[in-house]
Amino acid sequence: MSTKLETWARNAAFQYVERFATSEANLRSVLERKVRTRKMQGQIPEDVDPTDAISGAISFLVENGLINDASFAEMKTRSGKGKGKSRSRITQELVIKGVNKDLAVKSVSDVDDLHQAIRHAQRKRIGPFRTSNLDEKTKRREYGSFARAGFPPSVFLKVFDMEQQEAEDLLFHREKDELTLR
């Protein structure tokens, strides 16, 4: 049964990695969840321990370069920057996906919260990009949006008080600088 389980674990790991970028820890939890489901369905005997099969499958993928936590962290950081997520939000998402805290912090070291908050405001059409009049209810809603996105008050209050042209200029100059660095 263990050979069958090892083959199944490797195939399941391959199928998951084909569809999703992932970290080692996240893949381990996905495979463990799949094993629990198969045990409940009676496809795997209850007395079989899948730990070695799962570890073997993950080790194989790591050795062959199909899973790399550093690359995964960089990819998720780029994605988060594109979506206007805060440094703390990106770090939190990486840690939840099983990336080592030190690696997560290192990968977001170049994320500028002010720039990200402007991008967030632009995507949500709030702050300087607001299309409606500002009343107390709108102000609370917009503050809440920045706070839920993980931006500290010192950052989102700066963005909130900007004029649209100033925010666009900061976005443009930052993106232009990033393009020249590549």
Residue-wise pLDDT for 7-25, tens only, equals 999 999 999 999 999 999 9
Q: With beta carbons less than 8 A apart as the criterion, state whether 112 and 93 touch.
A: no
pLDDT in tens, 22-72: 999 999 999 999 999 998 998 888 888 888 999 999 999 999 999 999 999
| Residue extents of the structural domains in the chain | 2-63, 69-107, 113-181
